[in-house]
Amino acid sequence: MFKEKINSELKNFYLFLMGQFVSQFGSRLTSYGLILWAYKQSGSVLSLSLLSICYLVPEVFLSFISGTISDRWNKKIIMLVADTISAVFSLSIFIMLLTGNLKVSYLYIINFMMGVMDSFQNPAFEVSVSAMVAKDDYIKTSGIRTFCNSFIGVLAPFVATSLYAILGMECIVLIDLATFVFAFVTLAFVVRVPHISNKDAEAQSLLEQCKFGIRYLINKKGILNLIMFMAFVNLIAAIYNVNLAPMVLSRNGNNDIQLGIVSSTVSIGGILGSILVSKMPQTKKRVPLILNIMSFSFLFCNGLLGIGRNYYVWTLAVFGGNILIPFLTANVEYIMRTKVPLEQQGRVFSARNTLQFASIPIGNLLGGFFADKVFTPFMSNPNDVPAFFSILVGKGEGSGIGLLYVCIALGGLLGCCLFRGNKNLLSLDHEETVA
């Protein structure tokens, strides 16, 4: 009987995930297509960065309110409404494309509103997953979700670029709208999202509930320190991400094909890692595993990117650095889902998202500043550069970013070593599960 229940739960989850996968694939197509469209219209990399910031800021800083609402309201309704409003904005893009009225400035507003909708949709989605899936299946289902996200990361850029060149941006948006319809019908009429009773949350005011997530994390030192570690990981990852394309292109003579190979390998590593994490036995010492993974990833990936001189080395670096990331995310997710009571996850996860992801825009800014203002000028005059650095990262274009990668490799490793001495973080493996 219990086995039949679990199988039924997993089937329900798989249907839910299938609808979200199709919808996310369509959204990613539109995202990549709009990047191509916006760049051709403006010719400015800064405008593309601003598009990302417009999306990220509301998603991060509205999390407190959206998580509180997620705990109070019906999760399915929140997701359906958020997805519908996002689809309306996609439809507006399609109409403006047809009439020739779309402008990059309009996309800033649309991206901001998309970020607002996702700030509500994401916590409702995360809590729904916790309610749908048995605790013993958290690692397995996390691996499957990572596989889907990585698969989208590999396929969407290629499909979006091809469709944009052959059929135009209008076709991409139409596909996005079609995927929304599929996901909406699946979620509304097929998927069952369990009701989560939360009388305590309903009795509190909205302001009190917004404060709840932060108070909870302050009182749970182990979870708070895990979030601080992930914020540190995101900071280093943001510096890495913002410099990857400029470093590769500056050192290979602007070879787009080689950049595409390196970029796709990031997602390929994620796909293989997600398969492994769903098949391999689970460990009881999750925190040491998390720290070991990031120590290796920081040193191997960023170190090889820095000292590498060709795309063969860079491809090996990003593959080795990303194949273990699904193990990181799966175990972090397991800890959060089993240590935080289900009825409180919306508020706590939203507080987590704000703290954990706020470091990403900071990392983007620091990555650009260090590359343009510190490391590239430092390496630009070979006569003033110590011989050791020239031997380590080479000379000429891209060597400054190469040195930056070596520095964040060592900085990331040092940060992992410091967190190894954090008793509150290590205690998470010994605390009883509550969800």
Q: 363, 238 in Cβ contact below 8 A?
A: yes
Number of domains comprising the chain? 2
- Rounded Cα–Cα distance for residues 247 and 255 (Å): 11
For 259, half-sphere exposure in the C-beta direction (CA atoms, 13 angstrom radius) is 16
State the pLDDT at residue 37.
81
Specify if 197 maps to a domain. no
Task: Based on the fold, state whether residues 169 and 218 are members of the same structural domain.
Answer: no
Task: Based on the fold, state whether residues 298 and 160 are members of the same structural domain.
Answer: no
Task: Based on the fold, state whether residues 177 and 277 are members of the same structural domain.
Answer: no
State the pLDDT at residue 46.
57
Question: The CATH number of the domain where 316 resides is what?
Answer: 1.20.1250.20
Structure tokens that stand for 232 in this block: 């540190």
Task: Based on the fold, state whether residues 242 and 100 are members of the same structural domain.
Answer: no
Among 340, 80, 48, 367, smallest CA distance to 219 is for 340
Specify if 269 maps to a domain. yes
State the pLDDT at residue 316.
95
Task: Based on the fold, state whether residues 228 and 331 are members of the same structural domain.
Answer: yes
Specify if 199 maps to a domain. no
Specify if 196 maps to a domain. no
Q: What is the chain's pLDDT, residue by residue, as a tens digit (435 residues)?
A: 334 444 666 788 889 889 888 888 888 888 878 877 876 776 554 566 677 778 777 877 777 677 677 667 788 888 899 899 989 999 999 999 999 898 888 888 888 888 888 888 877 887 788 778 877 777 777 778 777 777 776 677 677 777 887 888 899 999 999 999 999 999 999 888 877 655 555 555 556 666 777 888 888 999 999 999 999 999 999 889 878 878 888 888 877 678 778 877 887 888 888 888 877 877 888 999 999 999 999 999 999 999 998 989 999 999 999 999 989 988 998 898 888 887 777 778 777 878 888 888 788 778 888 888 889 888 887 677 778 888 899 888 889 999 999 999 999 999 999 999 999 999 998 876 665
Task: Based on the fold, state whether residues 117 and 173 are members of the same structural domain.
Answer: yes
Task: Based on the fold, state whether residues 172 and 282 are members of the same structural domain.
Answer: no
Backbone angles phi, psi at 94, to 5 degrees: -60, -45
Q: 138, 333 in Cβ contact below 8 A?
A: yes
Q: Which domain holds residue 430?
A: 207-435
State the pLDDT at residue 252.
85
State the pLDDT at residue 135.
76
Task: Based on the fold, state whether residues 178 and 285 are members of the same structural domain.
Answer: no
State the pLDDT at residue 49.
64
Q: 49, 172 in Cβ contact below 8 A?
A: no
Task: Based on the fold, state whether residues 92 and 143 are members of the same structural domain.
Answer: yes
Task: Based on the fold, state whether residues 228 and 93 are members of the same structural domain.
Answer: no
Among 141, 143, 140, 409, smallest CA distance to 270 is for 143
Specify if 194 maps to a domain. no
- Rounded Cα–Cα distance for residues 93 and 33 (Å): 12
Specify if 347 maps to a domain. yes
Cβ neighbour number for residue 369 with a 10 Å cutoff: 12
Among residues 189, 217, 250, the one where a domain terminates is 189
Specify if 198 maps to a domain. no
- Rounded Cα–Cα distance for residues 272 and 261 (Å): 16
- Helix and strand numbers, DSSP H then E, in the chain: 21, 0
Specify if 202 maps to a domain. no
Task: Based on the fold, state whether residues 259 and 374 are members of the same structural domain.
Answer: yes
Calculated CA dihedral for residues 320, 325, 328, 331, nearest 10 degrees: -120
Q: Cβ contacts of residue 105 below 8 Å, gap of 6+?
A: none
| Straight-line distance from the first to the last Cα atom of the chain, in angstroms, rounded to the nearest whole number | 21
Burial degree of 203 (CB within 10 A; 0-12, 13-18, 19+)? exposed
Among residues 155, 189, 223, the one where a domain terminates is 189
- Rounded Cα–Cα distance for residues 295 and 415 (Å): 9
Task: Based on the fold, state whether residues 248 and 378 are members of the same structural domain.
Answer: yes
Q: 90, 173 in Cβ contact below 8 A?
A: yes
The pTM score is: 0.73
Among residues 162, 189, 216, the one where a domain terminates is 189
Q: 232, 411 in Cβ contact below 8 A?
A: no
